[in-house]
Amino acid sequence: MNELSTETEETMTIQKVADILKKDNSTIRKIGKSLFPKKFNNGKITYLNEKEVTAIKLHLGKNSELAKTNLEKQLLIQQAMNLQQEMITELQTENENLTIENTVMKPKALEYDKFMCAENVQPIGEAAKVFGIGRNKLFKLLRDNKILMENNTPYQKYMEYFKVVEKPVKIGSNIINKPVTLINSKGLDYLSKKIIN
């Protein structure tokens, strides 16, 4: 396949263009005259530059058998790059729009968010039921993992997961306050991930 190239401003005759484009001289001359009337003078040899040859070729229509000029190649590359950039932009937009609300997990995620934002607390015994183990077993597990002290109150570094309240207890004729450890939703989440397997 012949190739039209220009490092500098090269030109070629109508006949050369006709040979490369596999068209007759009169067809190229006719198209050239309609596109560039000032360029064509009767009796003189007409020289065309790459842009003019590209314009004539485009006027002839897209034909894969025709030689591509460097300008056409650059235009094709630019079109491909523009298309690729459009695709990248579309994918980025699609990616940004993939939020948790657009997924199958939406109902579960929303329920989890509501659960985690809840400010209520519950007794450790109720938490044990959630995990499917007994109350005493959960207390032992928390003491063994150094989360609760011997009196079943949390160590300071784990206080964000628990709430300790005083519960009045009658012992004989006396009423004393006894600490009761309650667990919050954040604590349940922590235990489910770190302790309960």
pTM for this prediction:
0.41
Q: Look at residue 1 and tell me if it is in a domain.
A: no
The count of domains in the chain is 2
Would 104 be classed as within a structural domain? no
Domain boundary, last residue among 82, 101, 131 = 82
Element (H, E) at 164: strand 162-171
* Mean pLDDT score, 103-109: 56
Which stretches within the chain are classed as H helix? 14-21, 25-35, 50-60, 70-97, 106-117, 124-131, 135-144, 185-194
Q: What is the mean pLDDT of residues 106-134?
A: 70
Residues 178 and 169: beta-carbon distance below 8 Å: yes
Q: Are residues 127 and 78 in the same domain?
A: no
With respect to residue 176, please indicate whether it lies within any of the assigned structural domains: yes
pLDDT tens column, 42-82: 778 888 888 888 888 888 875 445 567 777 777 878 887 88
76 and 133, same structural domain? no
Q: Residue 1: its pLDDT value, please?
A: 43
- DSSP characters over 78-122: HHHHHHHHHHHHHHHHHHHH--GGGSTTHHHHHHHHHHHH---EE
Q: Which tens digits make up the pLDDT trace of 12-40?
A: 888 888 888 888 888 888 888 888 888 87
Residue 87 lies in a domain: no
> Would the pLDDT of 102 be above 80?
no
State residue 182 phi and psi, 5-degree precision: -115, 155
Instruction: Give 112 or 175, the one with higher predicted confidence.
Output: 175
- Final residue of a domain: which of 51, 82, 113? 82
Q: Is residue 2 situated within a structural domain?
A: no
CA distance 58 to 10: 19
For 23, the domain range is 11-82
Nearest-angstrom CA–CA distance, 161 and 178: 20
Share of the chain above pLDDT 70, in %: 78
The last residue of a domain, from among 28, 57, 82: 82
- In the predicted model, what is the mean pLDDT of the chain? 79
Helix 50-60 with 25-35: angle, nearest 10 deg: 110
Contact 127, 188 (CB under 8 A): yes
Residue 66, in any domain of the structure = yes
Tell me the C-alpha distance between 106 and 103, whole Å: 6
pLDDT band at 98 (very low <50, low <70, confident <90, very high): low
